[in-house]
Structure 1
């Protein structure tokens, strides 16, 4: 029988649909676990039980264990609201974290705040921790990050600070159109065809007028679900990339996200002769949480600030 790890602290990435936790000794991962107990399915009283269930065997018999959490757990409808920090600013300030009330005396929980932008109005929650992880690896980077996802973010970095950002609901629009509109009849669960994606991404045009023809093409021309999915994805991502030109034109772009979706964005950028490098975002969240822990590890008296 393998003994359960005895972590020094817990790193938590709590999104809308997923909860990921890491048992940590310094910067080293002892064990990782995940569940589908995301923020979206929990009431305020459900967060602590969900965390305790997933970390069973990790908590000490006596004393407290520091927990640093990021993501939608800090939203207004999350465990405890962590206020947004106004840009321009560094991506993380752990001293501004929220501390939710807990029943279990073994838990000492901090929830990292998100970022806000006054004009145009915008917010992010969770992505700032990935950005901090990126800067931990590339502290001198000045340029643009793109974080594709349900709500993709385009972010400008300069001098270690986030200076501006913009959110696009591209992933959510694709999900709505492919699963709830008439286009669901032509797409189903198909993966986008690469060639169809490239053609549509290069010429998104007035996107709205091109949507219903996707359905008509499947009825009249036998367009396959894969081709229809590729065209829809290309139209949406192509329109996003064109609208985000101020972020990538004449700037270095790094794509941070899952390899599949990042590759589509790289392909769309390539149609404008804009090069991009790709990084898997999964590890960058943990790097950001590590950076937060290091920043909080000691206060002026040399004592652990989390306890």
Structure 2
């Protein structure tokens, strides 16, 4: 196997890498060595432990996106202000690397008012736009911190972040709801909960405690409670993000299961929704970023 370059998605919790030949994947690897688990001087060792078998004496370009470019990351890659192309400039070169690699980090995007930032999602947006030229609309990137990005003329015009995924995990694992929310799913309960907080977001806090009460008084199924909790939080998110998605063409880029949940929430609102694979979008965006580095010594 001859690795031409290496694509890296380095988030807070995980590190994923792909050995690439042009735009084709030759091999892949992942570890739990996300940014949150590494001290400032440990990034290169964590990466080499994952990709060393792909290297030889000739230096190989490594193009990375995500939290690896944060202030606490391998090298700080300053944010680009919107409106902007999602990957407008040559990624930031990491100084002093192992001679077998030339490492670059893709900068994130920032919005000054209201204040907001993203790292990693801009690469997925760039990859999506490469296969959807002249696409105008709104891109939803669901996850721990879900992004809604307004896109026009191949630029990110504005975006908003919602901590919906993190709130779900906190409430499920560290609140009184941990005793009532389990595994499983109830599609009808999810849809009902979305509609409830989409129309009455001010009732969210009361509806959340209602999940515990329904368990105590009516032995509500734990999977139904999980679906309701997800629906309540996503419904509140849709209520707040309505100015973004209402009447717009919408693309969802994320993990298959989570993207399907967001599509289910949006479709009853009359939204036209298409989904895109997060990994494919990431690799396409990193390929675009890599092309910007070819003239860099």
User: Which TM-score band (shorter chain)?
Assistant: over 0.9
Give CA-to-partner distance per residue, 1:231-286, whole Å, 9 cap, x none. 11100001101111111111100111112111111121123222311112111000
- Counterpart among 95, 102, 122 of residue 128 in structure 1: 122
Q: Flag the structure with higher helix content.
A: 2
Gaps of at least 5 residues in structure 2 are none
Question: Within the alignment, does 1:202 sit opposite 2:220 as a pair?
Answer: no
Distance 2:55 2:189 in 1: 51
Question: Within the alignment, does 1:184 sit opposite 2:178 as a pair?
Answer: yes
Give CA-to-partner distance per residue, 1:105-151, whole Å, 9 cap, x none. 22211101000001110000000000000011011101111011000
Task: Give the C-alpha shift of residue 98 in structure 1.
Answer: 2.3
RMSD: 1.2
Paired position in structure 2 for 1:249: 246
Paired position in structure 1 for 2:133: 139
- Counterpart among 256, 263, 266 of residue 266 in structure 1: 263
> Secondary structure of the equivalent of 1:78?
coil
Paired position in structure 2 for 1:280: 277
Paired position in structure 2 for 1:302: none
Paired position in structure 2 for 1:31: 27
Give CA-to-partner distance per residue, 1:156-194, whole Å, 9 cap, x none. 111010001000000000000000000000013x13321
Q: Following superposition, which runs of at least 4 residues in structure 1 exceed 6 angstroms of deviation?
A: none
Gaps of at least 5 residues in structure 1 are 300-304
Alpha-carbon contact 1:11-1:67 (below 8 Å) kept: yes
Could you state the TM-score of these two structures normalised by the residue count of structure 2?
Answer: 0.95
Question: Within the alignment, does 1:13 sit opposite 2:9 as a pair?
Answer: yes
- Counterpart among 61, 69, 75 of residue 64 in structure 2: 69
> Secondary structure of the equivalent of 2:84?
coil
Equivalent pairs, count: 293
Question: Within the alignment, does 1:49 sit opposite 2:45 as a pair?
Answer: yes
Task: Give the C-alpha shift of residue 92 in structure 1.
Answer: 0.2
> Secondary structure of the equivalent of 1:77?
coil
Could you state the TM-score of these two structures normalised by the residue count of structure 1?
Answer: 0.92
> Secondary structure of the equivalent of 2:52?
coil
Distance 2:89 2:64 in 1: 10
> Secondary structure of the equivalent of 1:203?
helix
